[in-house]
Amino acid sequence: MSDGYETLDLSADGRGVARLRLNRPERHNALNAAMIAEVTAAVARLGADPAVRVVVLEGAGDSFCAGGDLGWMRAQMQADRATRVEEAGKLAAMLGALDACPKPVIARVQGPAYGGGVGMIAVCDVAVAAAGARLALTETRLGLIPATIGPYVLARMGEGKARRVFMSGRAFDAAEAVELGLIARAVPPEALDEAVEAEVAPYLSCAPGAVAAAKALARRLGQGKDAQAVTDSIAALADIWETEEAAEGIAAFFDRRKPRWNS
């Protein structure tokens, strides 16, 4: 199933359990333009495949996903407004595709998840993490904001809990992620695959069409992810890419120095 993908590894077993693996381990599976496009396309493919019953989203190597690739972000900051909006829209579309996938999507979080990686967890139906995994919404450290992931993070955690970690950029462990509602279970690393299988197995005894219909109903009944919220989040990301703080934060990262607000 992986033919044609540069940034993903896609496979499925005989039960119909597909594995969508982010495969840029040397960059901690950071989201660049190619990965954003390929994830969007792969999710559409899996959603339309009647042989696929469940999708497991995972990362290759030590990290689950480090969020947006800063080289990709820097390119958007140097682009014109229309291009920024278009690229932010592609990221939002990827998240929306995962959220709307008619198959249940289970996140296997074996290592760090930052920024957009937290957003990818939030759009999954359930997430299981290794106890040692660290998570953070790191955008504000770089003069950015968790924009396109915001509707999904807020929907998953609720505003009160989300505000504990949404703006501070601080790291939190898998146990706190459970408390925040982002992760369903935190387990020892050696028990992670067993825990994921425990989430996968029940779906294999359910009617696939009923699972898809039930998920669609849950999304309709949920709040906070309406079209206007997504549109607003795209504009917010394009806006923040234009600020002096974002330019300073990204420059400081590439210069291997602290930004001016962290002296």
- Rounded Cα distance, 199 and 67, in Å: 25
The pTM assigned to this predicted structure is 0.94
Active-site annotation holder among 58, 87, 139, 199: 139
| Domain membership flag for residue 259 | no
| Domain membership flag for residue 223 | no
Task: Give me the CATH number covering residue 119.
Answer: 3.90.226.10
> Percent of the chain, pLDDT > 90?
90
- Rounded Cα distance, 23 and 9, in Å: 6
| Domain membership flag for residue 200 | no
Give, to the nearest 10 degrees, the angle between helix 70-77 and helix 244-255: 140
139 is a catalytic site residue: yes
Each residue's pLDDT tens digit, 192-215? 999 999 999 999 999 999 999 999
Name which of 256, 248, 215 is nearest 126 in CA terms: 215
| Domain membership flag for residue 68 | yes
| Domain membership flag for residue 165 | yes
Expressed as residue numbers, the domain containing 180 is 8-191
How many structural domains is the chain composed of?
1
- Rounded Cα distance, 155 and 262, in Å: 31
| Domain membership flag for residue 94 | yes
The residues, any chain, with a CB within 8 Å of residue 192's CB and separated by 6 or more, are: 108, 110, 128, 129, 130
| Domain membership flag for residue 127 | yes
Each residue's pLDDT tens digit, 155-198? 999 999 999 999 999 999 999 999 999 999 999 999 999 999 99
pLDDT band at 77 (very low <50, low <70, confident <90, very high): confident
| Domain membership flag for residue 202 | no
